[in-house]
Amino acid sequence: MEPKNLKWWQKTVVYQIYPRSYKDSTGNGIGDLRGIISKLEYLKELGVETIWFSPFFASPQQDHGYDVKDFRLIDPVYGSMNDFDKLLKNMHEREMKIVLDLVLNHTSVEHPWFIESASNRDNPKRDWYIWRDGQKSNGKKPPNNWRSMTGGSAWKYYENTDQWVYFHFLPFQPDLNYRNPNVKEEMFNTMRFWLDKGVDGFRLDILHSIYEDEKLRNNPFSFSIYSDKNSALFFQQHKYDLNLPETFDFCLELRKLINEYEPERFLVGEVFGGIEQLRDYYGPENNSLNEVFLFEFTSNALKFNINKIRKIISRIEKSIPYPYTPTYVYGNHDRDRYLSLLKGNIQKAKLLVTMQLTLRGVPYIYYGEEIGMENVKFKLKSSEDPIGQKFAKFPYPQISNLIGFSLTRDRCRTPMQWSLEPHAGFSSNKETEPWLKVSNNSKLVNVEIQKENPASLLNIYKKLLKIRKEFNSLHEGELEFIKLEDLFKKVLAYRRVYGNQEILIYLNFANKDLTFRISKSNPELIFSSYFNNKESDIFINDRYIKLSAFEAVIFK
Ligand code: NOJ
């Protein structure tokens, strides 16, 4: 087979940093850009190349940066434009790529555009947002039945102008009106502003919500409280406010815009839907978003159900085949930490990471996953997260299970656990409490300790990332499932093939030893998730191997 020469963004590994929680260099309890710069060597050593940063633009921080008041300024909480330039330079010097998180969909209510827009009906910025009269003769009912993504009506009433404004997420995040060409032009120029500075790409926040129906038709009822497949949430099918044809056209335009730049840049979209539906976001000729997040692995599959996992991978391979680039996402700043979904079972985590880093596509690692950080419990009422506050009165474990993501996202956003120092080494100031409490497992789970232990999760990540770089077939190769006898339904096996290079991956999902026949005689063992297991522990003879409970192995 001819070499494929995939682009950098098809082969890379992305690491997400939530800047507020990574490293505090000033001692005020909040992470910042200088803190991140001081950890670039750690990231380089870990072996990740592309870093996506949750927003650090000027913002009142009501949604911790996803409520922007100036898209071209760095929020002083995180540093200055000088710090940003330094970050970019330092990353590029280390051959790392920098991806910014762009919230095209909405602004903060404190953005000067919105302040103007809300001031009176004749303001030139009025049409930058979506204002409508209410229903009923007195206008005291929202313009239609649309529900926001966080529940409740998607409209907020403003008495001064006696109109309602539309928001898809939270009331302090009004949606921009992309039917107004000035809005589009301004936001495209914002993208150019950062691209001209040299950023390598954007993660695009709730992009499926960019356009909504011009006639504001009511959404139909749905029987589901949550379903990715038909965009249903809170008993409503989001037919007229999400995934509109105009949004797909918009994505094509975004790709054209980044294509003006050399070297090549990239876009990853946060969009929701079933895998088959999401495929359309890649464009008819792979000419739209370079990637979209596939969130399947943040929920059901991580119950460690091999059948579901096999099905999802098959669906991904079928719907997003080469040259499209699937993504493998286990967590982010909105979702439960995956190790908590595995009830803290490190052997299971090691197996899943082996899988994530050897499947075809781009893996996304959320900060702290590499050391096995887990959810931390927080009360909704005292939650920093505005969603937690909104749901303070609800029975949250139940709701959270139903909709598949966590209601106070504080629990997956706690400070990175670096060391045995106070505040797990996150903040240099002993006296100031970090903005979120540090997990009480930080004495056992931290970078300093795991660095020294060759069998630690951190060292497993490092080893796998190294192997992934070393063998082309792991980032460029085809993926083929290997059929095993029926007896071994608990083993997931596949090969990655590139030219003459063939890599075999066997994952034992059973909680017991299994002995079975492999597809090739006497391959060379290059990795076991059991640090101490050698070839002599695994090979029964040249064709039969024995894997321990939850063991993952790679052969060449
Ligand atoms: C999705 C982001 O991931 C989330 O953190 C944010 O609160 C909303 N979009 C609103 O921007």
Catalytic residues, which ones?
Answer: 205, 270
Using alpha carbons, list the distances in angstroms from residue 299 to 206, 207, 280, 281, 326.
19, 21, 22, 22, 17
Domain that holds residue 192: 8-107+180-382+411-459
**In the predicted model, is pLDDT for residue 7 greater than 90?**
yes
User: What separation in Å is there between the alpha carbon of 15 and the centre of ligand 1?
Assistant: 17
Give the confidence band of 279 by pLDDT, cuts at 50, 70, 90: very high
Which two tokens mark 312?
């999802």
Residues 6+ apart with CB under 8 A from 137: none
CB 302 within 8 A of CB 352: yes
Residues 143 and 234 in one domain: no
The reply to whether 309 and 432 lie within a common domain is yes
Q: Is 63 in the pocket of ligand 1 (CB under 6 A)?
A: yes
Query: Quick one: pLDDT band at residue 401, thresholds 50, 70, 90?
Result: low
DSSP H or E segment with residue 492: strand 491-498
Look at 261-265, 270-274, 433-437 and tell me which has the smallest mean pLDDT.
270-274
Same domain, 441 and 544: no
Q: Which atom of ligand 1 is nearest to the CA of 409?
A: 5
Residues 144, 72 within the same domain: no
* One domain, residues 56 and 88: yes
Does the pLDDT value for residue 405 go beyond 80? no
Buried-state track 143-172, b at ≥16 Cβ within 10 A, e below 16: bbbbbbbbeebbbbbeeebebbbbbbbbbb
219 C-alpha to ligand 1 centroid (Å): 22
Q: What is the mean pLDDT of residues 193-213?
A: 98
> Which of 54, 61, 63 is the pocket-test mutation for ligand 1 (most atoms within 8 Å of CB)?
63
Q: Following DSSP, what letter does each residue of 377-423 receive, concatenated?
A: ---STT-SSHHHHHTTTS-HHHHHHHHSS-SSGGGG-PPP---SSGG
374 lines ligand 1 (CB under 6 A): no
Out of 253-267, 365-379, 394-408, pick the least confident.
394-408
pLDDT at 139: 76
Model confidence band, residue 402 (pLDDT cutoffs 50, 70, 90): low
Cβ–Cβ under 8 Å, residues 396 and 407: yes
CATH code: domain of residue 118:
3.90.400.10
Please write the tens of the pLDDT for every residue from 41-65: 999 999 999 999 999 999 999 999 9
> Which of 73-87, 139-153, 396-410 has the highest mean predicted lDDT (pLDDT)?
73-87
What confidence score (pLDDT) does residue 227 get? Answer: 75
Count of domains observed in the chain:
4
413 lines ligand 1 (CB under 6 A): no
- Same structural domain for residues 148 and 80? no
Q: Are residues 269 and 223 in the same domain?
A: yes
Average pLDDT of 237-264? 97
Tokens of 280: 């359309």
CA 273 from chain center: how many Å? 15
| Ligand 1 contact via 66 beta carbon (within 6 Å) | yes
Q: What is the pLDDT of residue 324?
A: 95
Does residue 300 register a pLDDT over 60?
Answer: no
pLDDT tens digits for range 108-154:
999 999 999 999 999 999 999 999 999 988 878 999 999 999 989 99
Q: Considering the chain, what is the average pLDDT of its residues?
A: 94
Are 135 and 149 part of one and the same domain? yes
Same domain (yes/no): 302, 422: yes
State the pLDDT confidence band at 3, using cuts at 50, 70 and 90.
low
Q: Which helix (H) or strand (E) covers residue 96, if one does?
A: none
Q: Identify the band that residue 445 occupies on the pLDDT scale cut at 50, 70 and 90.
A: very high
Regarding whether 318 and 231 lie in a shared domain, the answer is: yes
Average pLDDT estimate for 75-91: 98
- What is the arithmetic mean of pLDDT over 169-195? 98
Q: Is residue 174 part of a domain?
A: no
Looking from the CA of residue 333, the nearest atom of ligand 1 is 5
Average pLDDT over residues 205-212: 97
User: 445 and 302 in one domain?
Assistant: yes
Confidence of residue 83 (pLDDT cuts 50, 70, 90): very high
Reported confidence tier of residue 39, pLDDT bands at 50, 70, 90: very high
pLDDT band at 273 (very low <50, low <70, confident <90, very high): confident
In this predicted structure, the answer to whether residue 2 has a pLDDT above a threshold of 70 is no
Residue 205 lies in a domain: yes
Q: What is the mean pLDDT of residues 453-461?
A: 98
Q: What is the pLDDT of residue 151?
A: 87
Confirm whether 465 is domain-assigned: no
Same domain? For 31 and 133 the reply is no
For ligand 1, say whether the CB of 52 is within 6 Å of any of its atoms. no
Amino acid 403: pLDDT: 60
